[in-house]
Amino acid sequence: MSTSSGSPEQGKEKGRESLKAIMAQKKKEMLQNMPDNPDSADALIDPYANSTASNYITRGKTGVVCDTEVLKHKCDWDDNYPENPQRLSAILEKCSGQGLFERCINIPNIMRPDLYEKVISKHTPELYEKLERVSNMSLKAREDAASDYDAIYFNQFTFDAACRSLSSVLNLVTAVAKRDVQNGMALVRPPGHHAMENEYNGYCYFNNVAIAAESVIREGHSKRVMIVDVDVHHGQGSQRMFYERDDVLYFSIHRYEHGTFWPNLLESNFNYIGKGDGLGFNVNVPLNETLLGDDDYLAIVFNLLLPLGYEFNPDLVIVSAGYDACMGDEKGKMNVTPGFYSHLISLLSTLARGQIAVVLEGGYFLPTLSEGACMTLNSLLGSPCPMLDPIKCVHPTVINTICNVRRMLHKRWKCFDVVELQTPETVTTYSQHRFEICYFGDKRKPPFDNGPGSYPGNTEENFRYYTKLNDALRERYGYVLGLPINYVYDDQMLQHAPQPGDVERPERPQRLSSIMEVLKEFGVLERMSRTPIVRRDFSEYSPHCRYYFSTVNNTMQQSKDVYVNEHTHDSILLAVSGLLNLIDGIMKGTSQAGVAIIRPPGHHAEQNKAMGYCFINNIAVAANYLLKKYEGDRVLIIDFDIHHGNGTQNMFYENDSVMYISIHKDENGKFFPANSPRNYTFDGYGRGRGFNINIPFSNDKMGDTEYLAVFHNIILPAAYSFAPQVVLVSAGFDAGIHDPLGGYVVNPETFGHFIHMLKGLAKGRLILALEGGYNLTTTSYAFAICSKALLGDPIIMPNNIYKNFSSEAIKTIRNVTNNFKQYWPIFEVNRKLGETPYILKKLKDFKEKNYGQELVRAIDPNRVHDNAYVEGEMKALNDS
């Protein structure tokens, strides 16, 4: 690490630039020597470049911008207008009451001198000038002008408020893109995502998010921006502004009801995926039912948003944060809980090195609007996510929408190769997905009624019910701040070593000492708290046979994968005791999470047998300790060691209080531990059926893409369906690059992404316990980056995600998800995708929720993304 004068952040930035310069020069020299094969230069670049760079990347501050002058913008002719100053006041009051602003950096809203130029980058000059002019008209003239626009009002402060709102968003997004802050939130109004090039719409005047995205791209701060729009209404303005661009991925989840919900547009449907260079970069997820909740939204996040995000690999994420999908909102009529937004931000933070700018859009039920905004800001600050209820089911219409989106984008994004296309031989009633395009709406036309009573409001009964429900959720969530990440380590565990003269063993003391060296080099140890290891009698919680531990000594028979010396017994005791000490701290509320730098490993140890360098099953003892000592009933064990944890599986195979998930190399039963029951069909027994999930890989050399696809498609959906109280990670790093036993090519930073994705579970109560990993460099870097993930540091994205995607891995993912549909309903989204698209005719006697489907017409599957063609076919069908 280089040293320099100046602040620590300046030093880190210089270190980053120095590393970039070194790597660029190295690549240039290689290219000069091999000009005919440029790809080989990439292969020869330092494989640990990202790992080394991780040393310089630590979590930055969270910025907040808010200009209270915008509270003057209100509807002068309707005091009950939904978009009113109370929306922002309620958020400010809630966040202040929880002390959130004190933990943030306040970004002053200095009005941008180039604001006009920024506006006309996405709007016409006439739109800007008219807003300034109309805001200065008389009350009657302003009210008349509003009738030309859908859901719009003007008062004398509207132009000023729109300018201040846009300026706030520009200042925040620029600060995040330049890494002046890690992330941040713009608490602004009026909102912006409905504003079109030359039209005000839906309470929006300037499209704040679109203008800010354009600004940071033009100024060179960002190259690829992902806009995630979770407002319950489709942001048609944002969509149109980037519809033919491939440097902005627009992703919108919105209520649609086949076009009968505002803004009633054809273009809000899933078949609008962009045009030209932007084909595939516009993603609509239309919801065709009301009262959808966390289960449905999480299914969309796991199956669509995260895979696309990882493949697109943005360097900035902007969230159009509408909270009108939150429960109690009369306009949205959805049932998303405020806690969901915390999980959304946590999962999105795996992208773009955590550079996220959240911009307030809609949300009109003040209790859940303010609570949702608080949960968002808490998550940006790194607070643990609240517990959500287990995923019980995904609504059939949402399953259909997910399948429709996947089908539309199947040829555009490799991440969707995980799902099959239907053929005549594979179509069954159970798995069939019908690829349908429906539109039953009518576009609204001026003049528009923006007067009193023109918008839905909550009944007093609904208001009381949802307020009470929100209060109950808030009490359940709680707010835990400032708890440390603890670690356990003891030098005495280094004394467990092969006997003098024995052959060299890959499981050796240097595994721990090298990890400790890198943890010190990365400054991780000084940021965590050390928990002293107090030796414990763990016999009450041991899953092993009685007296078995007493037989583990230097007289024990040795084998190729088992060795002992006089220190082995004590090393085992220290390893197990260290885990139990970490659990005590977490369960008693003195620490948030834990890291166990321990050996010997444990996950191969059977009830009365040592194998695979394992003697006592550390993780199994820890799980039993949680179940018995702390009366837990949902412990999740994630095992990503490349070898199947046969011992752990066997100890909980009939237990529904422990979910065991193992992702491992199988090689058709030939890889160690050979011939053990580790295929996906071994899914538990008795009450444990469905709680044992094996993800076996064979035949190909798996890497970052395959492992991340497994997390998105299997591990996260299963884990959120189980909703654990604690997560235990059997952290083996022998799937990492250059491991002498594994042979896979997972990069160290990818293991950090695993931990970051799991952090949202169990209120952040997670323990990382070392298992395998025999390349000292890979294991040390990977363990350090996982620890940094627990500390909240951004994780670098591995290179070339989804550039190649193993067909064998795809086959495994399909086999696992198909098998576990019988246990966990979220896997029902994995249906064979319909090959032929259809359009449906609207009946003349159509009524709300009575979608007539008497006339169906097949259309050309090669032209389903050609919206003019689809609209023409739809018109022809309706005219027939």
Give the closest residue to 230 by CA, choosing from 331, 344, 329, 335: 344
What b/e string do you get for 25-36 counting C-beta neighbours within 10 Å, with b at 16 or more? eebeebeeeeee
Give every CB contact of residue 277 below 8 A, 6+ residues apart in sequence.
244, 245, 246
Q: Which residue type, as a one-letter code, is found at position 105?
A: I
List 123, 233, 544, 604, catalytic entry: 604
**194 tagged catalytic:** yes
Give the closest residue to 839 by CA, choosing from 272, 402, 440, 442: 440
Report long-range pairs for 853-861 (Cβ below 8 Å, ≥24 apart). Answer: 853/438, 855/880, 859/437, 861/835, 861/836, 861/837
Angle between the 776-790 and 510-521 helix axes, to the nearest 10 degrees? Answer: 50
**643 tagged catalytic:** no
**Residue 711 corresponds to which tokens in the numbers above?**
């997390």
Q: How many other β-carbons are positioned within 10 Å of the β-carbon of residue 694? A: 25
> Can you give the length of the chain in residues?
880
Strands of 420-528 (E only): list them: 436-437, 485-488
CA distance 275 to 867: 9
Q: Which residue type, as a one-letter code, is found at position 43?
A: A
Give the closest residue to 287 by CA, choosing from 398, 177, 393: 398
Q: How many other β-carbons are positioned within 10 Å of the β-carbon of residue 244? A: 14
List 73, 123, 193, 194, catalytic entry: 194
**Residue 174 corresponds to which tokens in the numbers above?**
């620029």
CA distance 467 to 769: 42
**Residue 354 corresponds to which tokens in the numbers above?**
């955590």
**Residue 296 corresponds to which tokens in the numbers above?**
């449905």
Whether 758 contacts 731, CB under 8 Å: no
**Residue 39 corresponds to which tokens in the numbers above?**
């790809």
What b/e string do you get for 39-58 counting C-beta neighbours within 10 Å, with b at 16 or more? eebeeeeebbbbbbbbbbbb
Give every CB contact of residue 106 below 8 A, 6+ residues apart in sequence.
63, 64, 65
> Would you name the residues annotated as active-site residues?
194, 604
